Amino acid sequence: MILLMGPIDELVTSFFLAHLTDTKSEYLFVDQRHLGTQVRLELDLAPGPHASRRLRGAVCFPTWRVDLEDISGIFSRLGTGGVREHVTPEVRAERAHANALMDLFHGPVANRPTAMVSNNSKPCQYAAILAAGLSVPDTLAGGDWRLWEPFARGLTGDPVIKSVSDERSLVKQVSWDDTRAAFLPGRPPPPHQFQQRISGTNVRVHVVGGREVFACRAESQALDYRHPDMTGHPVHLRATTLPEPVADACRRLSCALGLHLSGIDLIEPPGGSADPRDWVCLEVNTCPGFMWFEQHTGLPIAQALARSLQAPLAS
Amino acid sequence: MGGLFPGEAACEASGSMPKLVLVGAELFPHLRDLLRAEALRAGFRAVEVPVRAWGATTTPWVEVKGGRFRAGLLGPEGPEELEREDVFWCLSEGPLPPEEDYLRAEREALREGFHTTCPARTLNRRGLLSVPWTVPSWRLLAQQLPAREGACVLAPPHFHVGTPPEDGRRWKPWPQEAGGTDARVWWTVSAPGPLHMAWVMGQQVSLWSVEDGGGARVAPTPELAADLARLAAGCGAEFLEVLLVPSASPTAWAALQLSFVPEGLESMLSGEHPALVEQAEHFVRAQLAGQEVGP
Amino acid sequence: MSKHNTEAGLITSRDLPKLAEAGQVAAPEVGHSAQELRQAVQAALAEQWSLMGILDTGKKAADLGKKAADALTDKAKKDEDKAIHDEGKARDEAHKKMNDDKAKNAEDRKKHGKEAASLGVAAGAFSDALRDLRA
């Protein structure tokens, strides 16, 4: 059965739960608020063959338990939904146990906590993106005017400015003069990331299990299509098919980052191309909110995810 | 060109000299002396960034243009680029100074990005794609061992997470000193022998008995040396310290702790251990020359 | 989500006042078996979809009179950001502790000089634990 963890009324958690219910799939649900209060995890790792083959343990409820041997795959939305909790040492410990379970579990996990951290730093992801055969925007992160000016001279038009980390920031296009004026003279500027603005169509790709690829175009005039209301531009989502070399590059990228489920933001070059090097990858979302894309395009992402997490385990 | 960054060693320099850039070397004074001496011998300019300055007053920068990375440091004197012929070793990295959450996350992300993408030859590369820096140490032991298929002699302890088992065995809580974790982790080893420390530097492995603070060199079996070297390679580490004990049978060993920071080495260098000094010199020399360190 | 529900109405920005935060629906009772838990989940989901106005798209949200200040696109992005950020925080904590310890150990050693010549606090902790295990 699938182990699903998260707050029950978080969008993607409830969407996926509803899918499992509707399809009569076997699952075990652990609400985030029960971890450390009503649910405990027990894990045991005796020396022997590889960790993934010797993990034993159980998800323990007050009066019943489910052995890990009965779990085929794990989907976690822990930490989403902004649930306010009273975080006791027990809660903290059980969250850490859940992270340990997800990192050590022998079957598929969407996603392992250690695989999710790459999104904390965009330049870290760029290394993986380039290695997978896709392109990244010309970028300068950090530095000061002595580096920014030569970088700016190589750009076409004004740069886009965005955060280096995963902290939420509004992606903006700024002029160099305004940027220069915004920083206080004599003080080191805070870190920023400047990028070449890329023209083309936004394409969101979800890769499930390193194999199945679901792509949709997000047609919008907005600089960041995920924030259309801020600019007044509407967004239209529709399913699309990627050229196979581009889909392969997405699979490679998802696997390289160790992600069972990824949301890859691409820009398709004007006129299209089958060469992955012509496609620019902006980032890889390691906890993708796929529900919205599925609802608007009909792409069966939840179904693919459920199928992949139910796959029989190799002995 | 001395004084480019705070704490920089005063060395002869020219524009064409490759650099040995060290972060946090002041915390390891004996190793720092060794590194400085080897840099001088190899014609490298030693650049040192104190751990407190790293990410605060000396900040990294990263550029990618046409798919090619450039990276460097920006100190009070200006930007410095690290190139392929340079060598970088971040021996220790402290927390960033307190400031607004957003800025702190940005500085952290920049440091991580620099570690991942820096084109210089890097020892024990950090960053978010490197397991030693993203996985708690007890889990790293559990995940990385056994380090190879077949007859391995090096194993992790028996770990239990949750409430300690009541199975008649003695279980010890995972010490916070061995790497903080919120998890309730318990460990045990069958019939543990005396404490040993192994140093893996490149492919070279040395083993020392360190019970009761001593430091006697012992010869590792080829199987143990191979397991330790594979363990370091699996972690993507050129330098690794392993705390281990013989366990259960005369040939079986249990690894208790992995350290990618040369804490133990610094302690040993402060004593009279010429064989370890020689191993460290050989390792650093090979790194500066861009050579593999053979077994 | 059932096909019926999906056809009844897509989530739109009008639903967002209800969707902005999780925590409005109580965690389901864990019961005495997986079966009982699943029944409680189904009841909680029904409450959730009802609150979200899926079966009556947007109406209930509009009834609340709240302004849909954000778009679902934004919400989805926020969810992604939030989850990653939380994981990041968890990791930062471990990372910070590890490095703090290491920096501190090194500073302690510097302070004590040659005489300390220990292999660090971790080695000391394991040494103590091993004594207990051997006893």
pLDDT tens for B87-134 read 999 999 988 888 888 888 889 999 999 999 999 999 999 999 998 888
Test A19 with C1 for CB contact under 8 angstroms: yes
DSSP for C75-119, written as a single string? HHHHHHHHHHHHHHHHHHHHHHHHHHHHHHHHHHHHHHGGGT---
**Structure confidence at residue C72 (pLDDT):** 36
In contact, C27 and A34? CB cutoff 8 Å: yes
**What residue spans define the domains of chain A?**
2-107, 116-135+199-310, 139-195
- A83-97, A145-159, A221-235, B78-92: which range is least confident on average? A221-235
User: How many Cβ atoms sit within 10 Å of the Cβ of residue A44?
Assistant: 17
Which chains lie within 8 Å of chain B at 3 or more CB pairs, if any? A, C
Mean pLDDT of C15-33: 74
**Structure confidence at residue A234 (pLDDT):** 66
Q: What is the distance between the alpha carbons of residues C2 and C55, in angstroms, rounded to a whole number?
A: 11
For A33, B260, C6, C28, the CA distances from C23, given in Å and listed in that order, are 9, 42, 23, 12
In this structure, chain B runs to a length of 295
Given a cut of 70, is residue B9 above it in pLDDT? no
For A136, A220, B115, B236, C113, the CA distances from A259, given in Å and listed in that order, are 19, 28, 21, 20, 46
For B177, B274, B281, the CA distances from B269, given in Å and listed in that order, are 22, 8, 11
**Structure confidence at residue B28 (pLDDT):** 95
- A275-284, B207-216, B232-241: which range is least confident on average? B207-216
Structural tokens at position B277: 């000094």
Using alpha carbons, select from B254, B252, B256, B220 the residue that is nearest to residue B241. Answer: B256
Quote ipTM for the complex: 0.90
Given a cut of 90, is residue A295 above it in pLDDT? no
- A34-43, A86-95, A275-284: which range is least confident on average? A86-95
For A14, B55, B169, B227, C121, the CA distances from B156, given in Å and listed in that order, are 39, 35, 17, 12, 20
Q: At a CB cut-off of 8 Å and minimum separation 6, what does B68 contact?
A: none
| B13 pLDDT tier (thresholds 50, 70, 90) | very low
**Structure confidence at residue A153 (pLDDT):** 84
Mean pLDDT of A63-80: 95
Higher pLDDT, C81 or B73: B73
| B249 pLDDT tier (thresholds 50, 70, 90) | confident
Test A45 with B160 for CB contact under 8 angstroms: yes
**Could you read off the pLDDT of B130-180 as tens digits, one per residue?**
988 888 889 999 999 988 877 789 999 999 999 999 999 999 999 988 877
Using alpha carbons, select from A298, A294, A247 the residue that is nearest to residue A268. Answer: A247
φ, ψ (nearest 5 deg) of residue A137:
-65, 145
In the three-class reduction of DSSP (H, G, I as helix; E, B as strand; rest coil), residue B145 is classed as coil
CA A282 to chain centre: 12
Task: State which amino acid sits at residue A176.
Answer: W
| pTM of the full structure | 0.87
Q: Would you call C12 an interface residue with chain A, using a CB distance cutoff of 8 Å?
A: no
Distinct helix (H) and strand (E) counts, chain C: 6, 0
Which chains lie within 8 Å of chain A at 3 or more CB pairs, if any? B, C
Q: How far apart are the first and last CA of chain A?
A: 16
| C6 pLDDT tier (thresholds 50, 70, 90) | very low
Q: Which domains does chain B have, with CATH numbers?
A: 19-129 (no CATH), 135-289 (3.30.470.20)
In contact, A59 and A39? CB cutoff 8 Å: yes
**Structure confidence at residue A209 (pLDDT):** 97
| C84 pLDDT tier (thresholds 50, 70, 90) | very low
Q: At a CB cut-off of 8 Å and minimum separation 6, what does B272 contact?
A: none
Mean pLDDT of A6-24: 92
Among B133, B139, B188, the residue to mutate for chain A (most A Cβ within 10 A): B139
Test C98 with B137 for CB contact under 8 angstroms: yes
In contact, A264 and A216? CB cutoff 8 Å: no
Pairing state between β B204-209 and B196-201: antiparallel
Out of B133, B188, B266, name the one closest to residue C133 (CB). Answer: B188
Higher pLDDT, A74 or A118: A74
**Could you read off the pLDDT of A97-151 as tens digits, one per residue?**
999 999 999 999 999 999 999 989 999 999 999 999 999 999 999 988 888 888 8
Task: Write the secondary structure of A214-228 as one string of H (helix), E (strand) and C (coil).
Answer: EEEEEEECCCCCCCH
Using alpha carbons, select from C84, B220, C28, B269 the residue that is nearest to residue A9. Answer: C28
Pairing state between β B239-246 and B216-218: unpaired
Q: If you measure CA to CA, which chain A residue comes closest to C30?
A: A61
Test C114 with B93 for CB contact under 8 angstroms: no
Structural tokens at position A109: 């996990």
Given a cut of 60, is residue A253 above it in pLDDT? yes
| C71 pLDDT tier (thresholds 50, 70, 90) | very low
Q: If you measure CA to CA, which chain A residue comes closest to B155?
A: A47
Higher pLDDT, B26 or A190: B26
**Structure confidence at residue C109 (pLDDT):** 41
Residues 113-132 of C with CB under 8 A from A: none
Among C119, C121, C127, the residue to mutate for chain B (most B Cβ within 10 A): C119
Higher pLDDT, A273 or B104: A273
CA distance B169 to chain A (A): 13
B280 HSE (CA, 13 A, CB side)? 26
Q: What is the distance between the alpha carbons of residues A152 and A138, in angstroms, rounded to a whole number?
A: 10
Residues 249-278 of A with CB under 8 A from B: 277
**Structure confidence at residue C53 (pLDDT):** 57
Q: What is the distance between the alpha carbons of residues A5 and A13, in angstroms, rounded to a whole number?
A: 8
Percent of the residues in chain A that have a pLDDT greater than 90, as a whole number: 64
CA distance C86 to chain B (A): 12
Task: State which amino acid sits at residue B5.
Answer: F
Positive or negative, the Cα torsion across A292, A296, A301, A306?
positive
**Structure confidence at residue A231 (pLDDT):** 54
Percent of the residues in chain C that have a pLDDT greater than 90, as a whole number: 18
Q: At a CB cut-off of 8 Å and minimum separation 6, what does A294 contact?
A: A15, A300, A301, A302
**Could you read off the pLDDT of A183-227 as tens digits, one per residue?**
666 666 778 889 998 999 999 999 999 999 999 998 876 666 655
Mean of per-residue pLDDT scores for chain C: 57
Q: What is the distance between the alpha carbons of residues A114 and B145, in angstroms, rounded to a whole number?
A: 18
Test C1 with A166 for CB contact under 8 angstroms: no
Mean of per-residue pLDDT scores for chain A: 89
Structural tokens at position A50: 């590889």
User: How many Cβ atoms sit within 10 Å of the Cβ of residue C40?
Assistant: 19
Test B160 with A103 for CB contact under 8 angstroms: no
Higher pLDDT, A237 or A71: A71
In this structure, chain C runs to a length of 135
Higher pLDDT, B82 or A163: B82
Test A120 with C84 for CB contact under 8 angstroms: yes
Test A10 with C22 for CB contact under 8 angstroms: yes
Test C130 with B243 for CB contact under 8 angstroms: no
Given a cut of 50, is residue B12 above it in pLDDT? no
Angle formed by the axes of helices A11-22 and A290-297, to 10°?
50
Given a cut of 50, is residue C100 above it in pLDDT? no
Structural tokens at position B127: 């960053």
Q: Which residues in chain B have Cβ-Cβ distances shorter than 8 Å to C122?
A: 175, 177-179, 243, 257, 259
CATH top-level class for A116-135+199-310?
alpha beta
Q: What is the distance between the alpha carbons of residues B42 and B45, in angstroms, rounded to a whole number?
A: 9
Given a cut of 50, is residue A23 above it in pLDDT? yes
In contact, B82 and B119? CB cutoff 8 Å: yes
Among C11, C42, C52, C73, the residue to mutate for chain A (most A Cβ within 10 A): C73
Test A31 with C25 for CB contact under 8 angstroms: no
Q: What is the distance between the alpha carbons of residues A104 and A115, in angstroms, rounded to a whole number?
A: 12
Q: What is the distance between the alpha carbons of residues C25 and B245, in angstroms, rounded to a whole number?
A: 52
Mean pLDDT of B173-189: 89
Quickly tell me which residue has 């050590």 as its tokens: A104
Q: What is the distance between the alpha carbons of residues B146 and B62, in angstroms, rounded to a whole number?
A: 37
Q: Which residues of A182-209 are buried (b: 16+ CB within 10 A; e: fewer)?
A: eeeeeeebebbbbbbebebbbbbbbbbb
Among A5, A8, A15, the residue to mutate for chain C (most C Cβ within 10 A): A8
Test A93 with B254 for CB contact under 8 angstroms: no
